[in-house]
Structure 1
């Protein structure tokens, strides 16, 4: 039978285990702080968006419009270059996001998400174009799926320009109000502050468990 580890070796292993566990506790605590900070930032963003969206629409006929500001576009719709984003779900039903380009007076293009529609024949755009400008949406795409006619899986400025033979869009926007049955999308963070608070509680719960284990291990392994 081999000789058991000596007391100094056991003490060294004990110290190493306690240090590793303490590091894990510190990491989970810091992760909770990070999620708490993200919840705070998201709440500030929501409040800023609400203030911006409450402003009167700003007339806009050239150049790149400011983000998250209601604007009244001046120019013309380009229905011949309208596209549909496939497999978009609304209230459990699969349909399409209707994306219609709008050409400003200086010929720059704004892509406008007019809302959700259940089939491939959405109504025409109304004469008015009061929109809320947005950051370009980020899509997760597993493959470079080619469009089928005017139906796309995802879209970005370069892909739209290559398909439509128009200049690359300078901005992306959402219709501020619904039109003829289209269900308008709204500009809210993908992950709300409450979700981050839930993550904070989870990380800090792990920290508390770690502290409990650290104390118990320290007591039960005294040499």
Structure 2
């Protein structure tokens, strides 16, 4: 069956051309994100697997130390617990427990000890978590956080924190910070099972390859539709012309 090639209108050319640029651009952007995410995951994994270092004190923040394996010694100030709200684990809602770790000089290092279900917010419901005496804890270094635009404001009066503000938390604890970092503990088992450590997201979701394939597939589909539409069987064109004349 002979094919009849029709010439697309300038408006259609412009629309299809712009759509292709956008679709290919989105696919390429997702590929860039893929390589960036892979590098970030590899960096975090490497940092977490290094030999632990003491939590740096009396220093400025070094971004390259994010997720570096680290340890700290001290005494928990259990009466100064902070609750990092709206944290989930396996579909269950709870909070992450941040406790100041007092150093020998009286200054503190903030320690994110892990996840606790909402029903165990009251310390008396988890007495074994109120560890007394000197402790040695291990985990990864985390950098100070800044408030995301969608996060509520921290409320020290009700002890509801939505992001880690090390300066504000130290001030609320009535102590001086020993380190600008905070330590997020690993999944070493603890007495009573709470808090559940190992909440640091060393592994990150990486779906960018699937997204890139989706955008490129849409671009290819658009090209195919465009070509097929303008290369129709001649009898289809004759039928259209005949219907137009009959009308």
- The answer for the alignment partner of 1:5 in structure 2 is none
Aligned match of 1:40:
35
Choose from 13, 25, 34 the match for 1:30. 25
Rounded to whole Å, the distance in 1 between the matches of 2:141 and 2:153 is: 27
Which residue of 165, 172, 191 maps to 2:182? 172
TM-score (norm 2): 0.69
Gaps of 5+ in 2: 1-6, 238-247
| Native 8 Å contact 2:73 2:135 kept in 1 | no
TM-score, normalised relative to structure 1: 0.76
Tell whether 2:78 aligns with 1:97: no
**1:132 Cα deviation from its structure 2 partner:** 0.4
- Describe the superposition over 1:90-118 as per-residue Cα deviations: whole angstroms up to 9, x where unpaired: 22322221011234567664322111112
Q: Which structure: larger Rg?
A: 2
Partner of 2:142: 134
Q: Which residue of 2 aligns with 1:210?
A: 222
What is residue 197 of structure 1 aligned with on the other side? 209
Distance in 2 of aligned mates of 1:214 and 1:109:
66
* Aligned-residue CA RMSD (Å): 3.1
Contact 1:61 1:105 (8 Å CA) reproduced: no
What does 1:98-117 correspond to in 2, within 5 Å?
98-104=97-103, 109-117=108-116
Structure 1 regions of 5+ residues with no counterpart? 1-10
- Residues 144, 164 of structure 2: 8 Å contact kept: no
Partners in 2 of 1:107 and 1:210 — Cα distance?
66
SS in 2 for 1:127: strand
Q: Deviations over 1:7-45 (max 9, x none)?
A: xxxx8x812321221121122112111112212221222
Asked if structure 2 preserves the Cα contact closer than 8 Å seen for 1:84 and 1:99, the reply is: yes
